[in-house]
Amino acid sequence: MTIDFHKDFCKRLVKLTPNQKKRVTEALKLFEKNPHNPQLRNHALRGDQKGNRAIAAGGDLRLVFREENNYAWVIFLSVGTHAQVYE
């Protein structure tokens, strides 16, 4: 699996608290081992986010991504609270 990060993801990541950054790192490690780990609650998005997916990084923290070719390539698009990434 190749994982890339969109510039918007990186901009939002630096604004997170140290605890939130730690949770994101842990979620990414789990995702790399198994994108469908039940802890991540990997799910497809609807509406104007259709085509994207999201995983949970604990609490209200979400990581939005797009995958291609059955997870051969993944690009993380956004990170933040539920309200921030689904606005």
Residue type, 57: A
Instruction: Give per-residue pLDDT as tens, 46-63.
Output: 988 899 999 999 888 999
The pLDDT of residue 86:
75
> Which of these, 56, 3, 27, 48, lies nearest to 64 by C-alpha position?
56
The pLDDT of residue 83:
82
Residue 22 has pLDDT above 80, yes or no: yes
Band the pLDDT of 13: cuts 50, 70, 90.
Answer: very high
Instruction: Give per-residue pLDDT as tens, 76-87.
Output: 999 998 888 777
Contact 17, 84 (CB under 8 A): no
Q: How far apart are CA 9 and CA 30, in angstroms?
A: 18
Q: How far apart are the first and last CA of the chain?
A: 29
